[in-house]
Structure 1
Amino acid sequence: MIQCRLCGKLFPLSEMSEEHYPAHSVGNDDIVALDIVKMADSFLSSELSERIIEETDAKAVLDDYFENELTKPLFPKGRTARTLCRDCNTFLGKYDEAYLKFFNCNGDPKIIRGFQKTTRIQIIKSIYGKFLSIPEAQEESFDFVDYLKDAKQLSYSGIWSIYFVQRDYSTDLFGLKDIGTSKMRFKEGVVYELSDDKFIFNLMNFPKHSCFEMTNIFDILNNGYTIVNGVGANGGYHAQALMSRLFDGM
């Protein structure tokens, strides 16, 4: 029997849903892994540079090389988990519909401020809900579960905060949008990471380090919010998470 992460009831595996994290519609499809060892060997050898010299279109050579030789299939149908019962997955799916609106307009504040407050709350709840499914958090007891279960509850005053950035060249190694998940430990507490094709989210149980510039997810309730693009020179939490995932796979 498996306990649903939202309602807390026990179900046989056959009655658990196979939910995508993040949602299938925001880039969680045909996930590949980067072969970092082969990548390092390629740059140390002359093989890649010789191929570029032989061809007139260097970009095409690099794109083909990364796609066909440096990546390998990881989750062909997307990253999924069985952490929610069918009813709870359907319930959270209503929040995901709101998040898709946010995703499709790139979180543009000029557009989001036209959304009803309830829609913006659903966007926030959708992101919190996805952290229930990541494998690194299965032993974590989150105090925002009741906030998610009550569709009418507008505020959350627990210990877990979510900060995010919009992806750009500084977040994606060689242009590859890694949407893996991670858990990072700091002396202040823990940070979890979850991302999709456009945004990177970090869930943490302590105040964000001031050196990392990010947007608090609850800021989208304010009409004048701004979205931080990229992670800057220090790499933010994402750089630590990315390097950890890359070397764990070696």
Structure 2
Amino acid sequence: MAVYDDKQHQCRLCGNYYSDSDMSEEHYPARNTGNEDVVAVDLGKMFDTFISESVRAEIGEKLNHGEPLENITGDIFDTQLSTSLFPKGRTARTLCRKCNTFLGKYDEAYLRFFNLDGNPKSINGFQQHTKYQIIKAIYAKFLSIPEAADEAFDFIDFIRDNDSTVYNGNWNIYFVKRDFSSDLLGMKDIRTGKITFDEGVVYELSDDKFIFNLMNFPKHSCFEMTNLFDILKKNYKLVEGVGESGGYHAQVFMSSIFNANL
């Protein structure tokens, strides 16, 4: 008779194996940064909707009555274009309960950054230790995205050591603050993704305010983004939006649409 081995899951942080009941339901991104009710969008219907004469007339009428465009498009999005995909948020069973609890203090630090919109003047007042916790919180989230399940990241020890201030590995994270150039008609999309270049690979993770790209090669100079480690500097520059090029975000977005339609 075969012996059932209940140690089915390997924790992405500590590397140990655990039964399903000892694994945690990890939110990526964190639940309180917009990952509470993830919806699916009918993109074909979305484009048809916004070029519709009747919808354009409806939008124009509401604009004339002083209603903000973001509210108008958000209402159309909620009522006509989206269906609930993950009612409790996007999650993965990639961390054991102990490691998820350990990372909780990093998530708390990142939430402070998130609530302050990453404002350089405000973040400048944080202690360096808190800034490192913010950095580690974002690196840790990439452990849970499905596209990186088979990636052997070299920043594990950096995350696991609460006091570490040194990471000389191959992976850098760049980010931008979301705006209308990153979010079509103000509609935020927090899907994850992966794109491959000759130089290496780019993974994406985002929340309601920021888009993060993890990559193992130098950033292309044509894309303006903030290096995550720059938050350690006084009054770092926070890049807003992806510009006319769309950055890596546009490529990840289009790739995910293409793959979904295959």
Shared topology, TM-score over 0.5?
yes
Query: 1:171–1:235: 8 Å Cα contact kept in structure 2?
Result: yes
Query: 2:42–2:81: 8 Å Cα contact kept in structure 1?
Result: yes
Q: 2:114 corresponds to which residue?
A: 103
Is the aligned partner of 1:205 residue 2:212? no
What amino acid is the match of 1:57?
K
Q: CA deviation at 1:243?
A: 1.6
* Secondary structure class of the residue paired with 1:200: strand
Q: 1:230 corresponds to which residue?
A: 241
**TM-score with structure 1 setting the length:** 0.94
Is the aligned partner of 1:42 residue 2:53? no
What amino acid is the match of 1:80?
T
Q: CA deviation at 1:48?
A: 2.9
Query: 1:185–1:191: 8 Å Cα contact kept in structure 2?
Result: yes
Q: 1:77 corresponds to which residue?
A: 88
Query: 1:34–1:246: 8 Å Cα contact kept in structure 2?
Result: no
Query: 2:193–2:205: 8 Å Cα contact kept in structure 1?
Result: yes
Q: 1:221 corresponds to which residue?
A: 232
Q: CA deviation at 1:182?
A: 0.3
Q: 1:246 corresponds to which residue?
A: 257
Q: CA deviation at 1:45?
A: 5.1
* Secondary structure class of the residue paired with 1:187: coil
Q: 2:62 corresponds to which residue?
A: 57
Distance 2:233 2:74 in 1: 40
Can you list the C-alpha shifts for 1:114-146, whole angstroms capped at 9, x where unaligned?
Answer: 111100000000000000000000000000001
* Secondary structure class of the residue paired with 1:37: helix
Identity of aligned residues (%): 62
Distance 1:183 1:56 in 2: 40
Aligned-CA RMSD value: 1.7
Q: CA deviation at 1:40?
A: 3.1
What amino acid is the match of 1:14?
S
Query: 1:213–1:231: 8 Å Cα contact kept in structure 2?
Result: yes
Which has the larger displacement, 68-77 or 187-196? 68-77
* Secondary structure class of the residue paired with 1:191: strand
What amino acid is the match of 1:79?
R
What amino acid is the match of 2:101?
T
Q: CA deviation at 1:56?
A: 3.6
Q: CA deviation at 1:44?
A: 5.6
CA gap 1:10/1:228 in 2 versus in 1, 3 angstroms:
same
**Structure 2 runs not aligned, ≥5 long:** 1-7, 64-68
**TM-score with structure 2 setting the length:** 0.90
The counterpart of 1:92, out of the listed 86, 103, 106, is: 103
Q: CA deviation at 1:109?
A: 1.2
Q: CA deviation at 1:13?
A: 1.2
Q: CA deviation at 1:110?
A: 1.0
CA gap 1:44/1:223 in 2 versus in 1, 3 angstroms:
closer
Distance 2:179 2:49 in 1: 25
CA gap 1:220/1:69 in 2 versus in 1, 3 angstroms:
same
Q: CA deviation at 1:33?
A: 1.7
Is the aligned partner of 1:172 residue 2:183? yes
Q: 1:28 corresponds to which residue?
A: 35
Distance 1:177 1:11 in 2: 35
Distance 1:39 1:180 in 2: 17
Query: 2:74–2:187: 8 Å Cα contact kept in structure 1?
Result: no
* Secondary structure class of the residue paired with 1:57: helix
